Amino acid sequence: MIADKTLSAVSRRSLLTGGVATGFLLAFHLPLRAAINEPVQPADKTDGKFAPNAFIRIDGDGVTTLVMPQVEMGQGIYTAVSMILAEELDADWSKVQLLHAPANEKLYGNPLFIIQATGGSTSVRAFWKPLREAGASARAMLVQAAAAQWGVDPAACTTSKGAVTHKESGRTASYGALAAAAAGQTPPKTPTLKDPKDFVYIGQPFKRLDTPEKVNGKAVYGIDAIVPDMKFATLAQCPVFGGKVGKVDDRAAKQIPGVRKIVVLDDLVAVVGDHMWAAKKGLEALVIEWNEGPNARINSKAVWDDLRAASARDGVVAKSTGDIAKGLSTGEKFEASFELPFLAHATMEPLNATVHCKPDSCEIWTGTQIMARVQSEAAKAAGLPIEKVTVNNHLIGGGFGRKLEPDMVVAAVRIAKQVDGPVKVVWTREEDIQHDVYRPVYRDTIAATLSDGKIAGWKYKVTGAAIIARWLPPAFQKGIDIDAIDSATDLPYDIPNFHVEYVRAEPPGVPTGFWRGVGPNNNVFAVECFIDELARKAGKDPVEFRRGMLAHQPRFLSVLNLAAEKANWGQPLPARVGRGVCLQPSFGSFIATVVEAEVDEQGEINLRRATSVVDTGIAVNPDIIKAQVEGGLIFGLTAALYGEITIEKGRVQQSNFNDYRMLRINQTPKIEVHVVKSGEAPGGIGETGTTAAAPALRNAIYAATGVALRRLPIDRTLLAAGKKA
């Protein structure tokens, strides 16, 4: 176990874990007060530490600090990042420690987003090359330092386990002994990367580094951060979107023991107390009159009416190949529309942020997917220069896209400005679900023709919100939301006449944002469900129908064939039991999934089995890939079976897990994930299971009952009645 000298002022609750992986011990540090907010300095200003780049620091004792550019929210990225960096660095795992990256867009910006953000299943595929180059560059500089000291050719030196060796002379020097000298070396312009056949760490099923402390309760999430003299607060916002505070009667609240202050802002009311119970009871005792505003007229019916009307308009062409008019006039034509509802994130860790605002500074403790954006938005809320705001990041107890928004931190800063000393602001579950930034409603319409058993023409239209236009405006070009059309424009199938349009339709008053699976959720669902319907129209087996359109897609064909084999596709099943397949191009990976489900006479669904085959390129850690697909499948199956946010009089009607249900452990099917060995660059994996789950389940229901569902969540009354959707 490695002691970190930089953490001497850290709370006793700082996290130190040891994980055994193929004989090496990795010390994993997640400090309570983010020690990594000390900037990663240039090599000549690090007090003897070798810091060749933003990701690596090595001190004279050989302790190697790897700075994590992405945040850990259960997806295993800290383990994957450490494996990539340590692989190319040839680090000694017993002397490695990990630290959160500070807010720094220039150093830690996601190469695919250009901003500092963790999301979209981009972490490994975006940082794969930069991290390898960072490790390889540092390794080369250490070799140069050793070769210069020994007067030998650097090419004659090798590296392993944190040391440089010159085999011919028998000399070896540790990275710690070489750190100071290496700092004076010039980094190579083009560092030489390892041949994948020489990987030592990458490809191994190392145990997750964060698991032990999460199991024994020592892990520190944002909600766990404790600072001296801290107060607690919880808040209420108008139950109607966009409403404002009218009048507040706080007389009863002030009588609650432990209540210290009532904070009334234009759009929220918070109660500050000595502990969370006092704050919660004080909030319940308030009598608040709200000015609900115009959004009080919004309801789910109006939202869907608006969306369906918008979907009748012509859209902006996102992609068009061949002659769509000719394609749609060739063969028999079929049409369908598919709809997906609003969804909340419902993360295990409720929204929270701890803030200490002073006249000249602001310090924040939270868990976020967007460090730099949180810093800049908090600075605006605090009325301070950005350099006066410090963000200490922590483990996130579920992000799913919700922590790609800064609103919870901004609200906490606004409250903290009214409080002397630090205050932890925690949302109740009800406040969290009823004031989320929701997965948008989508309506996808498809017209397709069949000729000689294959698709001759395909016209597809996506209608829904443009999250990208708000969240990353430079990426919103010519009226196209690249997220909304994701997996709609890059189908794996050979379709000669192909046309995709996008219609932007923002739901009135309802805030929308990213939700795990993002744009591919709606598109994979619509595409793969309709492909199954077309297979039946063509009189073909769904797997065989797909195979006939994959002549130029060997990786897709491979995963489809293996998934069919592993799921026993084609083997007899009992009555009202079916298998459904989904093939998807999402997130740079190639995945086929088969779900087996039973539907009883009342329309209730028993999930029997789920099988996924994944070709995600080089598998940095196959165990993490399997875990992410498993978790994603459960997440997606939950949404398919139960997920829906409805609105009445401008209010979200769901409030907690009693009416926004989760899949229970006894309902979870047997899940098998098979990882295909590949030498291609890695793809994304964190969201692929989510996007596969709903269409594979729907297609299983279709096979079992003949009912072609086209909306989510699954309507059991249709299944019980045996009606067509």
Contacts of residue 628, Cβ cutoff 8 Å, sequence gap at least 6: 75, 76, 685, 686, 688, 689
Whole-number Å distance between alpha carbons of 353 and 412: 6
Do 98 and 188 lie in one domain? The reply is yes
pLDDT at 13: 30
Work out the mean pLDDT of the chain and round it to a whole number: 92
Residue 304 covered by a domain = no
Q: Taking a C-beta distance cutoff of 8 angstroms, is the pair 451, 437 a contact?
A: no
- Residue 93's pLDDT band (cuts 50, 70, 90): confident
- Residue 98's pLDDT band (cuts 50, 70, 90): confident
Q: Could you give the percent of the chain with pLDDT greater than 70? A: 93
Do 139 and 91 lie in one domain? The reply is yes
Do 362 and 326 lie in one domain? The reply is no
Q: Taking a C-beta distance cutoff of 8 angstroms, is the pair 582, 588 a contact?
A: no
Out of 167, 196, 216, pick the residue that ends a domain: 216
User: In whole angstroms, how far apart are CA 703 and each of 546, 562, 641?
Assistant: 16, 20, 17
Do 386 and 476 lie in one domain? The reply is no
pLDDT at 47: 57
Residue 300 covered by a domain = no
Out of 159, 192, 216, pick the residue that ends a domain: 216
The answer on pLDDT for 45 being more than 70 is no
Residue with token string 């030498």: 679
The answer on pLDDT for 635 being more than 80 is yes
Higher pLDDT, 372 or 22: 372
Do 233 and 330 lie in one domain? The reply is no
Whole-model pTM over 0.85: yes
pLDDT at 723: 59
The answer on pLDDT for 46 being more than 70 is no
Do 52 and 178 lie in one domain? The reply is yes
Residue 639 covered by a domain = yes
Out of 372, 392, 426, pick the residue that ends a domain: 426
Mean per-residue pLDDT, 66-83: 96
| Counted domains in the chain | 4
Residue 315 covered by a domain = no
Do 336 and 361 lie in one domain? The reply is no
Nearest CA-CA partner of 632 in 76, 232, 231: 76
pLDDT at 22: 26
- Number of Cβ atoms within 10 Å of the Cβ of 153: 10
The answer on pLDDT for 307 being more than 90 is yes
Residue 520 covered by a domain = no
- Residue 12's pLDDT band (cuts 50, 70, 90): very low
Higher pLDDT, 46 or 575: 575
pLDDT at 41: 39
pLDDT at 209: 85
pLDDT at 48: 59
Mean per-residue pLDDT, 70-83: 96
**DSSP string for 601-638:** TTS-EEEEEEEEEEE-SS-S-HHHHHHHHHHHHHHHHH
- Number of Cβ atoms within 10 Å of the Cβ of 160: 12
Do 553 and 631 lie in one domain? The reply is yes
Residue with token string 């039973």: 598
SS3 call for 526: helix
pLDDT digits over 278-300, tens only?
A: 999 999 999 999 999 999 999 99
The answer on pLDDT for 28 being more than 90 is no
Whole-number Å distance between alpha carbons of 357 and 413: 7
Q: Taking a C-beta distance cutoff of 8 angstroms, is the pair 394, 222 a contact?
A: yes
Mean per-residue pLDDT, 556-581: 98
pLDDT digits over 483-541, tens only?
A: 999 999 999 999 999 999 999 999 999 999 999 999 999 999 999 999 999 999 999 99
Structure tokens, 431 = 């406040």
Residue 314 covered by a domain = no
| DSSP one-letter code for 220 | -
Do 93 and 117 lie in one domain? The reply is yes
- Residue 49's pLDDT band (cuts 50, 70, 90): confident
pLDDT at 8: 28
CA atoms within 13 A on the CB side of 272: 22
Nearest CA-CA partner of 146 in 125, 168, 110, 172: 172
Task: Give the CATH number, domain containing residue 357.
Answer: 3.30.365.10
Backbone dihedral angles phi then psi of residue 372, each to the nearest 5 degrees: -65, -40
Contacts of residue 285, Cβ cutoff 8 Å, sequence gap at least 6: 252, 253, 255, 256
The answer on pLDDT for 239 being more than 60 is yes
* Residue-level length of the chain: 725
The answer on pLDDT for 35 being more than 60 is no
The answer on pLDDT for 17 being more than 80 is no
User: In whole angstroms, how far apart are CA 639 and each of 344, 371, 692?
Assistant: 10, 28, 12
Whole-number Å distance between alpha carbons of 625 and 273: 43
Structural domain that includes position 247 = 222-293+351-426
pLDDT at 683: 97
Q: Which parts of 203-258 are beta strand (E)?
A: 231-237, 244-249
Edge-to-edge strand ranges of the sheet holding 389-393: 259-264, 268-273, 231-237, 423-426, 352-358, 361-366, 389-393
Do 448 and 420 lie in one domain? The reply is no
Structure tokens, 48 = 């003897």
Whole-number Å distance between alpha carbons of 110 and 117: 6
Nearest CA-CA partner of 108 in 36, 44, 45: 36
pLDDT digits over 198-221, tens only?
A: 999 999 999 988 888 899 999 999
Do 559 and 484 lie in one domain? The reply is no
pLDDT digits over 708-719, tens only?
A: 999 999 999 999
Do 446 and 337 lie in one domain? The reply is yes
- Residue 11's pLDDT band (cuts 50, 70, 90): very low
Residue 144 covered by a domain = yes
pLDDT at 29: 35
Residue 415 covered by a domain = yes
